[in-house]
Amino acid sequence: MLRPPHARLRRSLSLRTIPLVLIAPLVVIGLVGCSLVPSPDNIVEGLVEEAAAQSGEDVDLDVDTSGDGASLPDGWPGLPVPEGRIVSAIKMGDSYSISIEVTSEDAARAVVDELAASGFDMMGETDYGELKGAMLTSPEWNVVYGWTASDEGIVVSYTVSPVAA
């Protein structure tokens, strides 16, 4: 029996991997702002990578605490990325999560439109005013993409996970 695309999406998102991938950028941003944790990139990255290693996951992390921007994780699947400063980039197993500061909501939205135009199926969209998002899927990838607009700027959260066979 063929399953609808949203059933594939639910089945393929690992309950163990996705929450850590989604939460890790928030933890990193919180740690960077905490006076108990030194701010150099390598110390923050080392702390998060050590915590992830204890979970048994293979993790690579790049966090921008200096303002110069982080880099896309090794092996990024070549999907479009909004123009802006990468705040954090995480590769955990075969999944990726990046956070990017962008200059406008149009820049944030453009990636959703580009993914849909390239053949990704739109599984759902949300619009809660300052918080907007979309879930998309292709035969290879599941994407959870969202952005928050506030007086302090616009931050995109972008998670990419392989579709389970």
For 110-136, write each residue's pLDDT tens digit: 999 999 999 999 999 999 999 999 999
Distance CA 111, CA 107 (A): 7
Among residues 98, 96, 50, which one has the least CA distance to residue 70?
98
Structure tokens at 158: 């972008």
Q: Please, which pLDDT band fits residue 159 given cuts at 50, 70 and 90?
A: very high
At residue 127, the pLDDT reads 93
- Structure tokens given for 73: 């994780």
Q: pLDDT band at 165, cuts 50/70/90?
A: low
pLDDT in tens, 6-56: 444 444 334 344 444 454 444 444 444 444 444 444 544 555 556 556 656
Q: What is the pLDDT of residues 57-91, one digit of tens each?
A: 666 777 776 777 789 998 999 999 999 999 999 89
Q: What is the DSSP letter of 84?
A: S
Question: Which helix (DSSP H) or strand (DSSP E) does residue 21 occupy?
Answer: helix 17-33
- Count Cβ atoms below 10 Å from residue 46 Cβ, excluding itself: 12
Range of the domain at 107: 5-73+80-162
Structural domain count of the chain: 1
